[in-house]
Amino acid sequence: MARVVGRVRGNIERVIEGKPDVVSSALVVLLAEGHLLIEDVPGVGKTQLSKALARSIDCSVRRIQFTPDLLPSDVTGVSVFNQNTREFEFRPGGVFANIVVGDEINRASPKTQSALLECMEERQVTVDNTTYQLESPFMVIATQNPIEMEGTYALPEAQRDRFMARVSVGYPVEAAEMAMLSSHTGANPLDDLEPVTDAAEIRKLIAIVNQVHVSHDVQRYAVSLTAATRRSDELMLGASPRATLHLVRAAKAVAAMDGREYVLPDDVLRLAGPVLAHRLLPSVEAAMSGRSTTAILDAVVGGVPVPSGAR
């Protein structure tokens, strides 16, 4: 686990300077069999991060540029009539890959966005009453800009809930930006990026993550966190049971990456923000008072006692 994760992390950090926490979050979501939403302002490297992760693994990768005229069949695939065989043939869409990079996902219409619902949750695609299974590993890495709202369609709650975590790349520190100027102005570092692992090895790591032990106390702590969001007066929509599953699965991946065979309450606590915040909707009163979802979640999490000595 440490050897493979270290190689992939080092490969990505050749492209993304000075963002080790963001790179680690992407690897956690990959090994926990989740999907990642990268939300930030333009020009901070959202697409570069997703491409660097995809190119670091020797597996099938497809990029979908979400635009207002994109059709659901462009995502899932379509049946085409073959004049020679006189039969319909299925032509796979963009989701038929191990790593699917969805750029500017909120620029597509809600009809096209909904084409991702089945594949993200059930890892399958149904077209013309025929179901096609997607290969493992399967991960959707989507990007969107939160401030550029003209010509965009906000992701519905059902779509956001299918993303295991949401991360923001953020602006780099001055030293990292100086290093970027030296390494990125002459050539694109993505062009020289070679795979450092393959799909079979990632499947082995996923199997290791699945064997990590989660004690009853840690499970109860995860349930208490999500239940507290449903009781909060400042939230109109709390975290779903799917959010609890994602929280525990991500915590298992963090524990495995840290070399442990068990999950600590601190693993769950550090993931509460990335895993839960994007699923919550503030109440009208909280929104009008300027309270952000992150601030509300921090207050809710702070009110839940952390179990001590739980393994």
* pLDDT tens per residue across span 60-115: 889 999 999 999 999 999 989 888 888 888 999 999 999 999 999 999 999 999 99
Please, which residues have CB within 8 angstroms of residue 201's CB and are 6 or more apart in sequence? 4
C-alpha span between 231 and 238 (Å, rounded)? 8
Amino acid 149: pLDDT:
63
Model pLDDT for residues 105-116, shown as the tens digit of each residue: 999 999 999 999
Q: How far apart are the first and last CA of the chain?
A: 21
Q: Which residues partner with 216 through β-bridges?
A: none
Instruction: Please state, in angstroms and rounded to a whole number, the distance separating the CA atoms of residues 160 and 166.
Output: 9
What one-character-per-residue DSSP string does 143-161 give? Answer: EE-SS--TT--PPPHHHHT
d(CA 76, CA 113): 11
Beta bridge partners of 217: none
> Are 36 and 140 a contacting pair, CB within 8 Å?
yes
pLDDT for the residue 145: 82
Determine how many CB atoms are found less than 10 A away from the CB of residue 116.
27
Check residues 218 and 187 and name the one with the higher pLDDT. Answer: 218
Instruction: Give the tokens for residue 151.
Output: 């010509």
Mean pLDDT of 15-39: 92
The span from the CA of 40 to the CA of 310, in Å, is: 35
Instruction: Specify the amino acid at residue 134.
Output: L
Token representation of residue 225: 């966190």
- Nearest residue to 290 via CA among 234, 245, 246: 234
Query: What stretches of the chain adopt beta strand conformation (E)?
Result: 36-39, 57-58, 61-65, 77-82, 87-92, 99-103, 124-127, 130-133, 139-144, 165-167, 197-198, 235-237, 281-282
What is the C-alpha to C-alpha distance for residues 127 and 79, in angstroms, rounded to an integer? 8
Contact 112, 66 (CB under 8 A): yes
Contact 232, 238 (CB under 8 A): yes
The pair of structure tokens assigned to 108 is 């597509």
What tokens appear for 265 in the block? Answer: 């309450």
Count the neighbouring beta carbons within 10 Å of the beta carbon of residue 187. 9
The answer to whether residues 152 and 109 touch, using CB atoms and an 8 Å cutoff, is: no
Measured from the Cβ of residue 3, the count of other Cβ atoms closer than 10 Å reads 9
Mean pLDDT over 173-190 rounds to: 79
What sign for the dihedral angle of Cα 64, 198, 135, 252? Answer: negative
The pLDDT value given to residue 187: 74
| Residues pairing with 123 in the sheet | none
**Up-side HSE of residue 237: CA atoms within 13 Å toward CB?**
14
Using pLDDT thresholds of 50, 70 and 90, give the confidence band for residue 34: very high
Residue 216: CB partners within 8 Å, gap ≥ 6? none
Q: Do the beta carbons of residue 26 and residue 49 sit within 8 Å? A: yes
Kind and range of the H or E run holding 103: strand 99-103
pLDDT tens-digit profile of 115-149?
999 999 999 999 988 999 999 999 999 998 876 66
| pLDDT 10s digits, 239-272 | 999 999 999 999 999 999 999 999 999 999 999 9
Please, which pLDDT band fits residue 27 given cuts at 50, 70 and 90?
very high
